[in-house]
Amino acid sequence: MGVAPTGVREPATSCPRSLAKRLRAKSRAWRLRAERWVAYHYDWPSWLPDKWQRIGACETGYGRRPGDWRWNSGTYQGFSGFYYGTWDQYKHRADPKAGPYPAEAYQATPRQQYEVALAVWRAHGYGAWGCGSA
């Protein structure tokens, strides 16, 4: 480390390679974090139980599993056809680790919709869905 004629010290590392190495490591860490988040919220085949796939296929999927996550008929929304009032009532009871819940069910991630569906199921059972016997 040298001293410039003006008395200002030079930075401790002026090597572009060490800076690039640190930036690559940070970038890799953020990418892995993002991949874990996406898998947690959107990789529904790995975590969505078969029963819920059948309910979603019957409610909004026209037979295609797991239903349409973006379904919005105005009154009913999301893969399991949440009534908008039901979504508003139960969205706050779901897992807070999943992040903030949107105002509309069709805007929520698949994991958020599943968590709210579980909250409705705990309160009312499968009878809350017309296709609950699927």
pLDDT in tens, 116-127: 999 999 999 999
How far is Cα 104 from Cα 85, in angstroms, rounded to an integer? 10
Give the residue with greater pLDDT, 5 vs 121.
121
Closest CA to 118 of 38, 37, 62, 48: 48
Closest CA to 90 of 52, 119, 55: 119
Supply the DSSP symbol for 8.
P
pLDDT at 64 (0 to 100):
84
pLDDT at 126 (0 to 100):
95
Band of pLDDT at residue 133, cut at 50, 70 and 90: confident
Using one digit for the tens of pLDDT, what is the confidence trace for 21-64?
A: 999 999 999 999 999 999 999 999 999 999 999 999 999 988 78
Report domain extents, the chain. 14-44, 48-128
Closest CA to 72 of 39, 41, 38, 103: 103
Supply the DSSP symbol for 72.
B
When pLDDT is averaged across residues 65-84 and rounded to a whole number, the result is: 91
User: How far is CA 92 from each of CA 2, 48, 62, rounded to the nearest angstrom?
Assistant: 58, 20, 29
pTM higher than 0.85, yes or no? no
Q: Does the domain formed by 48-128 have CATH 1.10.530.10?
A: yes
